[in-house]
Structure 1
Amino acid sequence: MMAFRFLKSLLAAVCLAVLCPAHADEGYPARIRIGIQKGDGLVALRASGKLEQAFAVHHVNVTWHEFVYGAPLVEAINAGDVDVGTVGSTPPIMAQAGAAPAVVYVAYAPKLVKSYAIVVPKDSPVQNLHDLKGRKIAFAKGSQGHLFVLKALQDAHMAPDSAQFAYLSYGDARSAFERGFVDAWAVPDPRYADTELSTGARTILTIGDLSVPQYGFYISTRDFAQKYPAALRLLFDELGRQTRENLAHPEDTARFLSGNTGVPLQVWDRAISRLEWGVGYPIPDEVLRAQQDSANLAFDTKVIPRRIDVRQAVLQIK
C-alpha cells in the first residue's frame, strides 16, 4: 500500500512538473501579448529574449505581435487580441474619442526629438514648411505623423488645408516619395534613416522643433491594467534595463538589431543615436498636459469628432 501511495504521489508530481502546464502566479496572466512597431524600444527587448526569462519565473508565456503603425495596434488592443503595446501620441487620442474606448495610457516614452522628421527629396526646391503650401505631404492616417504635421502647420501659422495630405502606409509612402508623387513625407526611424541613406532625402523639420513636446505612450486596456499591474511593472522594468544597456553600447546594439530585424546595419547605426527609447511610470503632469494639447489640436482640426480629456483614459501603474 505504501508503495502504491508513493507511486501515485510520484506520478502526480511528474504530471505537475512535466505534463501539466504550470499556472501563472497570482496577479499575473497566463500569457502577455505585446504589440510592437519596427522602430520602438520593444524591438531590442524582444530580440534579447530576456523578457521571456523574467516572465517564466511567474509561469507567464510571452507572445509578440508586430504592427506597421499605431492605429492597427490600438484596434488589436481594443479587440482583446493584444494586451499592451507602444504608440505615438495620435492613436490613443483617436481611441479615446470613439474608435477604441477600452484603451488606456499606462506609461510613457521620452520626449520625441530627432527620431521623427518631415523630409523632402534631395533636389526639391522646398526649404521649409511654408514652401509646402499647396504641395502634398504623406503620412499614415492616425499615426504620430498625422498630428506632427498638423502641429507643425499650426506653429508655422498655416491653415491645416494649406497643404495637401496623402494618407499612405509606410510602404506606399516610400514608393510615392521616391517617384515624386508626393513632395514631403513625415517618417519615423528607422525608416527615416533608411530614406536618408538610400535617397539622400533632406530634413526640413524634426519633431523636437515643435512648440509643444510630443511623447510616445504604452497602452493597454483598463481591464488588463487593473487586473495585472504587476505584469506591466515587470515589463516596464525589464524594458528600462534593456534600454539602458542598448543605449550604453550603440554599436553593439546596431549589429544585434541588424541581425535580428533584417534592417541594414548602416540604417541602425544612424537611427540608434536619435531614437528616444525608454519607459516611465507613473505618467507625470507635464506629459499629460502636452498630450492634452495634441488632443485639443485633433479636435480643432476635425481629426476626432469630440473634445476629450486625456486624463480620463489614464490608469497609473505604481
Structure 2
Amino acid sequence: MSLLPLPRLAPLLMTLLMTLSVWVPVQAADQALRVGYQKGGGLLAVLKAQGTLERAFAAQGYHLSWREFQAGPQLLEALNAGSIDVGYTGSPPPIFAQAAGIDLVYLGAEPASEAVEGILVPDASPIHDVAGLRGRKVAVQKGSSANFLLVAALEKAGLGFKDIQPVYLPPADARAAFASGSVDAWVVWDPYLAAIQQSQPVRVLADYKGLLHANSLYEGSRRFADAHPAAIRLLLAELAKAGAWANAHKPEVSRILAAQIGLPEAVIATWQARTRYGATALTPEIIAVQQQTADIFHAQGLIPRAVDVSQAVWQVPR
C-alpha cells in the first residue's frame, strides 16, 4: 500500500481535525473570581480557612483565588489595576478611590462596631485627650477607616487635620514608629489594635463611641459585577451565612483566625469580643452615612473633589 505524499496529506489532516472539532465538545475553562482581603480580614479570612467559598463557587463553574493586603487603600488600588474582582474594606478607602476616579461599585456592608479601632498613645504619654494631639505627630494609614476616626475625633475636639502632623504609614511601619517613640500617637484597627494593647502599656484616647461610624463595605469592579450578577449574589449570601455562624462561634473563629493570621489566640479573642458580623444589602441609611463620611473628608480637604456615593452603588442588571 503506497502512502500519500506529505503535500497531499496535510490538507486531508486539516479537514479531519476541523471535522472532529465540530463533533467533540470542548470543556469551557472555569470562570475566575479573585478576592482581595486584608491581613486580619475577619470574615473573609474565616471563609478562606474553611474553603467555604471555593466549594460554593466551584459548583457554579468558578475558580476562586485570594490575595492579601495590609490595608484597604492598597486593596482598592489592586481592584483598579484589575488584579482582583471583589474585596472588603472600611468605609473611607472606597471614598478616596471614588475621588481618584476608580470605577468601583459598593456591593454590601458589614455592621459597624464602635471599639474595633482606636487612637492610641503610650501609657506614660502626657497626652490625655484628643485635644492634646494639637501639634503632635500621629501615625495613620492614609485613606483608611482609621483616617476617618482621626478626622471625626479631631472635629469633635474642635480641631482639624491642619492642627496635627499626620504621618502616613501602613500598619506594620506605624507600629514600629509608635514603639520607637518617633510618633506621638497611632490610629489603627483590629487586630493591630488588640496586638499592641497586649504587647505594651497603651491608652485609647478615642474610639467610635459618640462619633459618626460608617459600615465596613464589600466592593467590586463594576465590569465584573455587571458581567457576573449571580456570582455577586452568591458571594453576599455566603457571607451572610458565614456571619451568622461566626457571631455564634466566637471561640472557634478566634482559633481559625489565629492560625490564619499568625497572631496569638488571646489577641484574636480580644478583637472578636468587640466585633459583630452580618453581611447586609446597602440600605438608604447605610448609603446616607457613607455620603456623610465622604462629605467630611471633602470639607477637610483630604480628597480632591466631592463624590456622590449613590453613583457607585451597584444595581443588579436587568
Tell me, yes or no, if structure 1 residue 233 matches structure 2 residue 217: no
| Contact 2:40 2:257 (8 Å CA) reproduced | no
- Structure 1 residues 210-232: Cα deviation after superposition (integer angstroms, max 9, x where no partner): 1x222111111111111111101
**Distance in 1 (alpha carbons) for counterparts of 2:153 and 2:187:** 11
Partner of 1:6: none
Q: Residues of 2 paired with 1:21 and 1:62: CA distance?
A: 18
Does the 8 A contact of 2:116 with 2:274 survive in 1? yes
Map residues 151-170 of structure 1 onto 2, 5 A cutoff: 151-170=152-171
Give the deviation of 1:39 after TM superposition: 2.6
In the alignment, structure 1 residue 311 sits paired with structure 2 residue 313: no
Equivalences, count: 295
Q: Deviations over 1:99-153 (max 9, x none)?
A: 41x1111111112311111111121122210111111111011111112211111
Q: Unaligned stretches of 5+ in structure 1? A: 1-10, 25-29
* Contact kept in structure 1, 2:246 and 2:277, CA below 8 Å: no
Is the contact between residue 40 and residue 261 of structure 2 (CA under 8 Å) also seen in structure 1?
no
Structure 2 CA distance for partners of 1:203 and 1:317, relative to 1, 3 Å: farther
Which runs of 4 or more aligned residues in structure 1 lie more than 4 Å from their structure 2 counterparts after TM superposition?
20-24
SS in 1 for 2:135: coil
Asked whether the equivalents of residues 254 and 269 of structure 1 are also in contact (C-alpha less than 8 Å), the reply is yes
Q: CA deviation at 1:256?
A: 2.0
Give the structure 1 partner of residue 216 of structure 2: 216
Query: How many Å apart are 1:21 and its aligned residue?
Result: 5.2
Alignment of 1:174 with 2:179, yes or no, is no
Query: Is residue 132 of structure 1 aligned with residue 133 of structure 2?
Result: yes
Partner deviation per Cα, 1:238-272 (whole Å, 9 max, x = no partner): 12212221221111221122122211111111111
Match of 2:90?
88
Greater CA radius of gyration, 1 or 2? 2
> Given residue 234 of structure 1, which amino acid in structure 2 is its aligned partner?
L
The two structures have a TM-score, normalised by structure 1, of: 0.88
**What is the TM-score with the length of structure 2 in the denominator?**
0.88
RMSD: 1.9
301-310 or 169-178, which deviates more: 301-310
- For 1:1-318, list aligned pairs within 5 A: 22-24=28-30, 30-40=31-41, 41-100=43-102, 102-210=103-211, 212-281=212-281, 283-317=282-316
1:137–1:163 CA contact under 8 A, matched in 2: yes
Work out the CA distance in 1 between the residues paired with 2:179 and 2:200.
7
Identity %: 37
